[in-house]
Amino acid sequence: MSNNNISSPEFTTLCQSQVTLLAESFGAVWSIIYIAEDVIKDGETSLFPSATYPQTEDSRKIELPSVKLSEVWQQLQSHSSTQLLPSNLIGDRNQADVHWQTNTTETKQLILPLIYQETFIGLLVTGREDREWLQSELKQVEGIALTLAIARFLELQYQWTQEELTVQENLRRVERDRLDNLIHQLRNPLTALRTFSKLLLKRVLPGDRNHKVAKSLLEQSDRFVQLLEQFEAESSPQTASNSPTPLLEIGSNTKLSSNFLLPGLNSQLDSVNLTEILEPLIDTAKAISTDRNLELQNNIPSFIPEVKGDFSALREIFNNLVDNALKYTPPGGKIILDLKTNQAMIGIAIRDSGYGIPKTDQERIFERHYRGIQEKSDIPGTGLGLAIAQELATKMQGKIELISPNNLAKDRPGTTFIVWLTKSTRIVN
């Protein structure tokens, strides 16, 4: 709260206008608005004057009336927030050269706490000499005190918000620097991986069983490069300010599109040949399943009717779902890919004999960062794969169906995900 004792010029002007109003409308011969240095909780805080009346050339030469804050705090504990405090809470004021006081007339003093939303913000201290305060006048003075309290409260809220934004901006800058460093460090090994993949692909004959593995390795390296390039393009300052990507509405607030770093979806969906997506994916999955002692069974025919969608988005969906099947199926298990159709849609089913998804988790399994029971396991994950897949499928007028248990194995419940996509109306020769 280091800046809380610094009032804005606007608030200072408001305070000065209110003490002037007290003089002109109510005959106050002097007024002071004290502002608390910190939000008061236990009666211990410092007060500083924000505005005084009358003003002098150098207000620092004026000996302001002292305030017994501990007694004020005790009064606040036993009275309402608008209670006019007794004048004896002002200390003795015997300074003869104070312009607003005479030695012959007792000043009718008032002390009003500035309180808003149970927050003590300061004090309004005022006084006049010629008459007592009427009840109607007291109500108006209380209104002035409330106005000042609200204005100062809003100013503090703004200051606190700015401080929090500064902290968040500094944290964001640190995280961005770390991410930039990581991306920079990834480029060299990624370049080497792509180079080795190309060399390997040239040396392995097309008939060799390792040819598909080398090809898949190069394709995955290229996909990694595309993701890095997309990240750098979308996170640049110029792109952020000129991006045509629509913002998602949350009440009256907005946030950045959740498609950040994900495949872009055009408003006009294309006709996509799923075979071009699934074949290299299955080749890679077979190599991984062999290494992990898993059986991968592909029952999808070579010809599949085209679907409406986005190539990159569909590749992301199936990558995530097949990766999950490989990750959550223990050694000795089985993964089966099937084709399902109905009148309007094509379904690609990924079944596994893995740990399954409990009924209690199934309603939330597509939420971002939700992992359910797997949160307690030693299997690494972020809880983003299914959320990304579901979001992309929905935007392509499709859906993902979850079935668990699937009875694929006797010893484990297993899980089945079926990606349903709309058939394309394009006629293929």
Q: Give the pLDDT confidence of 396-428 residue by residue, as tens digits.
A: 999 999 999 998 888 899 999 999 999 988 655
CB 322 within 8 A of CB 285: yes
**Would the pLDDT of 85 be above 60?**
no
Question: Strand, helix or coil at 115?
Answer: strand
* CATH (residue range 268-429): 3.30.565.10
Domain boundaries, the chain: 9-162, 268-429
Fold of 9-162: Beta-Lactamase (3.30.450)
pLDDT, residue 101, reads 33
Compute and round to an integer the Cα radius of gyration of the chain. Answer: 36
Provide the edge-to-edge strand list for the sheet that holds 334-341.
295-298, 334-341, 345-352, 415-422, 399-403
> Among residues 335, 310, 305, 334, which one has the least CA distance to residue 389?
310
pLDDT, residue 287, reads 84
CB 408 within 8 A of CB 414: yes
Distance CA(21)–CA(361), nearest Å, equals 64
Distance CA(12)–CA(5), nearest Å, equals 12
Contacts of 134-138 with CB under 8 Å at 24 or more apart are 137/26, 138/84, 138/110
**Would the pLDDT of 291 be above 50?**
yes
Phi, psi angle pair for 110, to nearest 5°: -130, 145
Q: How far is CA 323 from CA 226, 284, 286, 339, 403, in A?
A: 19, 10, 11, 18, 17
Beta bridge partners of 116: 119
Q: Is the pTM of this model over 0.85?
A: no
Q: Give the pLDDT confidence of 390-403 residue by residue, as tens digits.
A: 999 999 999 999 99
Q: How far is CA 303 from CA 68, 72, 132, 311, in A?
A: 89, 85, 97, 17
**Would the pLDDT of 96 be above 70?**
no
Phi, psi angle pair for 358, to nearest 5°: -60, 150
Confidence bin at 16 (pLDDT 50/70/90): very high
Q: Which residue has the tokens 């005190």?
A: 145
**Would the pLDDT of 261 be above 90?**
no
Higher-confidence residue: 212 or 428?
212
CB 89 within 8 A of CB 112: no
